[in-house]
Amino acid sequence: MAKKMLPPRTNLWWVPISVADTEAEVLSAALYAPGGGAIDISCAVVSGYTLAATDSATDSTTSICDTTAANTPTQDNFEADLTFFREHIDEVTGKADATSPYEIAFQLFKVGGARGNITGWLVERVGYPQTAAAAEGQPVSGYLVMPDNPRTIIGEGTATIQFGVKFMPQGKMFTNQNLTA
């Protein structure tokens, strides 16, 4: 009997460009996530995020022999927009818990755009529990991005305070490639 995959079975890792530049380096760094330069941001991300390939840019030029329209992919496209939880700031110390996944994500992406000048890979693994260690052969997708300026999201009443980050594509992506050492 077939079983449908149900959440939560998604991991998101941040791999700074200083750790990995090529697809092979990303696949190796993510294999050791968390660790090996990959930072696990999964638990800080609010459900309903956007991180996916989108329609490719195409050229629709046809030849005089074509009898139908033709579209040739010319450039891959993707979009990345994540919302994160914010960590509580202690009223006595005035500081957040530096080990909290919420605070780790905030420190990574709190300054974006031209001022932040941060580039890295958002790596997504789907199908495995967040607590399951990454293993060779598991498929992941990677998107080279630069975070834009974050926006504070303050809900009404008792809603949590969050921050959202649109990530700008930086010219590289891969989908469903197997983790390798």
Give the mean pLDDT of 133-154.
95
Give the whole-number percent of the chain exceeding pLDDT 70.
Answer: 99
Is residue 33 scored above 80 in pLDDT? Answer: no
Query: How many Cα atoms sit within 13 Å of 65 on the Cβ side?
Result: 0
Q: Which pair of structure tokens corresponds to residue 47?
A: 């459900």
Q: Does pTM surpass 0.75? A: yes
The secondary element (H helix, E strand) that includes residue 17 is none
Minimum mean pLDDT range among 5-9, 58-62, 108-112, 153-157: 5-9
Confidence bin at 24 (pLDDT 50/70/90): very high
Confidence bin at 157 (pLDDT 50/70/90): confident
Give the mean pLDDT of 163-178.
96
With tokens 């974006």, the residue in question is 112
The span from the CA of 46 to the CA of 26, in Å, is 24
Residue-level pLDDT at 74: 79
